[in-house]
């Protein structure tokens, strides 16, 4: 959620943010109009209550006809106060609804663009492997090795579902364990968190109302399945005031993630790239509301994810995400894209996001500084690893001419020393 005081002071900055992020600029003016009406009604009610209080004190000192006249005058204030209160009650829900729709102002350094085509490459690490034989994609490899079964996954749960078997399930767990060991070794506290949460938590982290169509809902219980452990990790300290000395909070979790992919009909339907459920190791940071501190942690969580990809010896690139592709609440965002031979391109496997105080305001997540002043925290998150999407480059880049797949050395300790799948 944005700071309404900043919006009042800098409306043009928010109009531009709406424009470059693909939102309607008219939302800004609509909110300002409702805000002005609400402020006016609240001031009117306050003035009327002040008059009523003063009149009550004056009446106690009067007698006779003067007292009756004063009582009659005070009675006229009651319907006016009631009308003002009713106006406030009508405007507050609309104000809250609009506040949830206004996008965060992006960092000035963020490239402007309409969609992913406007993202800017920052660096490349590693070289894509060149093959001297006809390669197979991850589905053909997985079926031949008996480790991926998509048809039966579809039979059980519909399109965009899958089953990992035997060594495939072990490989999936191996990458999650490698990522977990990497992030905990870097000082992040591992947590086990709910993946079915109250809708208020989804709203607090910015996934509702924008993005609601992407979530699986349990309407009977007013709950939703999360698309990332970012949601419960970030909301863990909601409605709390932390001490500055206890910041930053650095948390990580392994969780199953659920996404309807409602807006991706006909897109990336083959294989394991865009699916309805997957497992992910997520990292979340809660820090002071200082731009330099927040930016430093952004680079840190990005480096944590890169460390896992380097351990897996996978070629990747880092891109800075443009305004039109970064989402409502983000101040700045990087994607990591790993080379996938079957797609013949770098494809997204990680996202590192900095939100400023956008999520913290919605969650009422605050801290007290050394002088006793209360501030909203800054929040950040990034994928450490997500599987089975990462199995696409792992299988395809490590395949051999005979259809076997070499297991990267970093994963072998988690595979009981196994070096090859065949």
Give the catalytic positions in this structure.
Answer: 259, 274, 348, 351, 389
> Residue 99 is encoded by which pair of tokens?
């506040």
Can you tell me the distance from the alpha carbon of 226 to that of 158, in angstroms, rounded to the nearest whole number? 19
Can you tell me the distance from the alpha carbon of 250 to that of 188, in angstroms, rounded to the nearest whole number? 5
From the list 325, 313, 316, the residue with the least C-alpha distance to 348 is 316
Q: How many residues does the chain have?
A: 422
Cβ distance 408 to 174 under 8 Å? no
Long-range residue pairs from 63-67, CB within 8 A, at least 24 positions apart, any chain:
none
Task: Give the residue carrying structure tokens 């009406």.
Answer: 37
What strand order describes the sheet that includes 120-125? 120-125, 316-320, 332-340, 345-354, 378-387, 277-287, 249-258, 189-191
> Residue 389 is encoded by which pair of tokens?
């999407």
If you ran DSSP here, which 8-state letter would residue 229 be given? Answer: T
Can you tell me the distance from the alpha carbon of 132 to that of 110, in angstroms, rounded to the nearest whole number? 40
Can you tell me the distance from the alpha carbon of 385 to that of 280, in angstroms, rounded to the nearest whole number? 6
Can you tell me the distance from the alpha carbon of 302 to that of 282, in angstroms, rounded to the nearest whole number? 12
Cβ distance 317 to 125 under 8 Å? yes
Q: What is the Cα gyration radius of the chain?
A: 27
If you ran DSSP here, which 8-state letter would residue 130 be given? Answer: P
Can you tell me the distance from the alpha carbon of 206 to that of 200, in angstroms, rounded to the nearest whole number? 10
Cβ distance 311 to 278 under 8 Å? no
Look at residue 417 and give its three-state secondary structure: coil
In what helix (H) or strand (E) does residue 163 lie, and over which residues does it extend? Answer: strand 163-164
Cβ distance 167 to 198 under 8 Å? no
DSSP E strands, 64-112? none
């Amino acid at each position: 959620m944005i700071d309404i005081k900043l919006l009042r002071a800098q409306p043009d900055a928010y109009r531009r943010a709406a424009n470059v992020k693909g939102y309607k600029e008219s939302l800004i003016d609509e909110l300002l109009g409702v805000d002005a009406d609400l402020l006016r009604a609240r001031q009117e009610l306050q003035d009327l209550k002040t008059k009523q209080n003063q009149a009550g004190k004056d009446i106690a000192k009067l007698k006779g006809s003067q007292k009756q006249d004063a009582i009659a005058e005070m009675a006229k204030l009651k319907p006016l106060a009631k009308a003002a209160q009713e106006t406030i009650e009508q405007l507050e829900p609309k104000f809250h609804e609009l506040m949830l729709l206004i996008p965060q102002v992006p960092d000035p350094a963020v490239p402007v663009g309409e969609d992913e085509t406007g993202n800017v490459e920052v660096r490349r690490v590693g070289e894509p492997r060149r093959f001297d034989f006809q390669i197979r994609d991850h589905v053909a490899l997985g079926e031949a090795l008996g480790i991926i079964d998509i048809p039966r996954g579809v039979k059980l749960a519909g399109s965009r579902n899958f089953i990992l078997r035997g060594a495939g399930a072990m490989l999936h767990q191996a990458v999650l364990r490698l990522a977990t060991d990497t992030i905990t070794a870097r000082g992040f506290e591992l947590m086990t968190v709910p993946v079915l949460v109250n809708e208020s938590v989804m709203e607090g982290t910015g996934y509702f109302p924008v993005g609601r169509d992407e979530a699986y809902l349990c309407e009977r219980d007013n709950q939703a399945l999360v698309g990332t452990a970012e949601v419960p990790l970030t909301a863990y300290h909601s409605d709390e005031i932390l001490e500055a000395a206890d910041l930053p909070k650095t948390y990580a979790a392994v969780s199953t993630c659920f996404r309807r992919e409602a807006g991706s009909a006909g897109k990336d339907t083959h294989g394991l790239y865009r699916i309805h459920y997957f497992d992910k190791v997520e990292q979340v940071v809660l820090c002071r509301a200082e731009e330099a501190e927040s930016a430093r942690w952004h680079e840190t969580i990005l480096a944590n994810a890169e460390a896992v990809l380097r351990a897996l010896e996978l070629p990747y690139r880092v891109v800075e995400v443009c305004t039109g592709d970064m989402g409502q609440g983000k101040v700045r965002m990087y994607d990591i894209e790993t080379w996938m031979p079957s797609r013949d391109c770098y494809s997204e496997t990680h996202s590192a996001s900095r939100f400023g105080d956008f999520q913290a305001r919605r969650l009422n997540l605050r801290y007290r500084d050394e002088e006793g002043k209360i501030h909203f925290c800054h929040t950040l998150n990034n994928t450490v690893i997500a599987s089975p999407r990462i199995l696409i480059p792992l299988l395809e880049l490590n395949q051999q001419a005979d259809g076997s797949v070499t297991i990267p050395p970093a994963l072998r300790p988690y595979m009981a020393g196994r070096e090859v799948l065949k």
